[in-house]
Structure 1
Amino acid sequence: MEFVHYIFLPALAGGIIQGVTGFGAGVVMMMFLPLQYSVVQSAGISSAICMILCAAMVYRYRKTINFKKIFAPAILYLAISSISILFAKMINQEVMKIILGIFLIILSLYFLFFNKKDIEPKGIVSILCIVISGICDGLFGIGGPLMVIYFLAKTSSKEEYLGTIQCFFLINVLYSTIFRIFNSIITIDLMPGIGLGMLGILVGLFVANKIVDRLDGGLVKKLTYVIIGLCGLSNVITTLL
């Protein structure tokens, strides 16, 4: 029952939100997984579950992937995220929960007020996008927001963007999952839960496809961003008390 409550249901919720709004399922799962697992383990579980989404998207857009635009950022991203994963293991997990709470608040504010798709990162800004994303991915399993901005600017069509960024994320989650396994963050006893989470996220996407036309996607997005911020605030307050 532990896996059902703490992995399957968050993955199901993440799949529904992702399907309705296009919003990252990983962020939604990281609102709930730390209630049962350490932040380090939660990041690994969330990333591993999201692998199934990335694989499905890569298969769908496989003909439009621009591999030349993946290679360089992937090397830097994976190096930074690896260092961050090892660093996260050494931090007190109560401190990590506070950091995660602050991160969720910042993420909420970013999506509510600063998520502009017309930003074009160049030079050092591009590098910062990759570095910051790699750090966030290593610490919390959430590296998507700034990489969305990066790849939107580097690709010339919606199809090329979707194929390229999903391939980038698939490479990352495959690598980070293996890296976390070798560093005993993802352990064998978590594998059934991760498999159940993959099922949950697919069920969530199926449900979302059935109800998406009946909902106001923009309103759902805003509500989700607000809930993320409130969860972050609650995380900080409950950890400090």
Structure 2
Amino acid sequence: MITRYLPIFIILSILAEILGTIGGFGSSVFFVPIANMFFDFQSVLGITALYHLSSNVTKIAFFKKGLDKRIVLYLGVPAIIFVSIGAYFSKYLDPKILTYILGVFLIILSLLFLIFKQLKILPKTRNAIIGGSLSGLSAGLLGTGGAIRGITLAAFKMDKNKFIATSAVIDLGIDFSRSIVYYFNGYMRKEHLYLVPILLVVSVVGTWIGKLILNKMSQEQFRNLVLILILLIGIISVMNIKI
């Protein structure tokens, strides 16, 4: 990335962290499309994994009072297993095609839930396992699986704090697992390590601002915003803009 674009990158990263906190499914769903405008895709995967580790630790610290241990088990374990599989195969598959498919899927899914408000994913253990597996696989292949996890978590009708804390704990396990695989894939490059402390500050500032905004929202506003943000993520993924 050319140095003159660094301030723009930082501002957009803070915005991604704020939106990711408000939406409750992590900043990577916004950060990956943003970072993809500045870096090659494999570098994006490495940077995102390192950044997201600090981002999720920050969220757990801010929202530590809410946590559903049962959902962490049923959704988190399959996610951790499948993120390792996805991360390994990421070097063999065309990321552009996968990103486009994910974008179309998220657009259709979010529109369905926004238009047909009575449509719901049943809060069953089986659905938690399937959602965790798909979100983990997506995170490993594309760098982001939070939107799929967000839709699955929404079925269990948690309050805002529990939703965010549970999502962050699952994401922490996902990021730790894929970071190891990405390292051996050669995605974590020395020339990008200067971004780690910058993004650590971004994660704290963005999460803090997001929490302030979230405290002023109702549960119904929160649900609708999650779906709207997922729709936006899908559109960004399909557009696949490059700078």
TM-score range relative to shorter protein: 0.7 to 0.9
> How far is 1:100 from its partner?
0.9
Counterparts of residues 3-22 of structure 1 (less than 5 Å): 4=6, 7-19=9-21, 22=24
The root-mean-square deviation of aligned C-alpha atoms, in Å, is 3.8
Counterparts of residues 37-76 of structure 1 (less than 5 Å): 37-62=39-64, 64-67=66-69, 69-71=71-73, 73-76=75-78
Question: SS in structure 1 opposite 2:33?
Answer: coil
Equivalent residue in structure 2 for 1:128, among 127, 130, 133: 130
2:112 counterpart of 1:107: no
Equivalent residue in structure 2 for 1:180, among 162, 182, 185: 182
The residue that corresponds to 2:171 in the other structure is 169
Calculate the TM-score normalised by the size of structure 1.
0.74
2:240 counterpart of 1:235: yes
Measured against aligned partners, the alpha-carbon deviations of 1:14-60 in whole angstroms (never above 9, x if no partner) come to 02323555564211112222223232331332232222231122234
Matched length? 233
> How far is 1:72 from its partner?
5.1
More helix by share: 1
Counterparts of residues 131-146 of structure 1 (less than 5 Å): 131-146=133-148
For the residues of structure 2 that align with 1:203 and 1:190, how far apart are their CA atoms? 21
For the residues of structure 1 that align with 2:130 and 2:228, how far apart are their CA atoms? 29
For the residues of structure 1 that align with 2:212 and 2:162, how far apart are their CA atoms? 27
Q: Which amino acid aligns with 1:127?
A: I
Q: Which amino acid aligns with 2:237?
A: G
For the residues of structure 2 that align with 1:90 and 1:165, how far apart are their CA atoms? 28
> How far is 1:88 from its partner?
1.0
Calculate the TM-score normalised by the size of structure 2.
0.73
- The 10-residue stretch of structure 1 (154-163 or 47-56) with the greater mean CA deviation from structure 2: 154-163
The structure-2 alpha-carbon separation of the partners of 1:20 and 1:13, relative to structure 1 and needing over 3 Å to count, comes to same
Measured against aligned partners, the alpha-carbon deviations of 1:158-179 in whole angstroms (never above 9, x if no partner) come to 5544433321211221222233
Q: Percent identity?
A: 19
- The 10-residue stretch of structure 1 (227-236 or 80-89) with the greater mean CA deviation from structure 2: 227-236
Counterparts of residues 76-225 of structure 1 (less than 5 Å): 76-91=78-93, 95-114=94-113, 118-122=120-124, 124-152=126-154, 159-206=161-208
List runs of 5+ in structure 2 lacking aligned partners: none
The residue that corresponds to 2:37 in the other structure is 35
List runs of 5+ in structure 1 lacking aligned partners: none
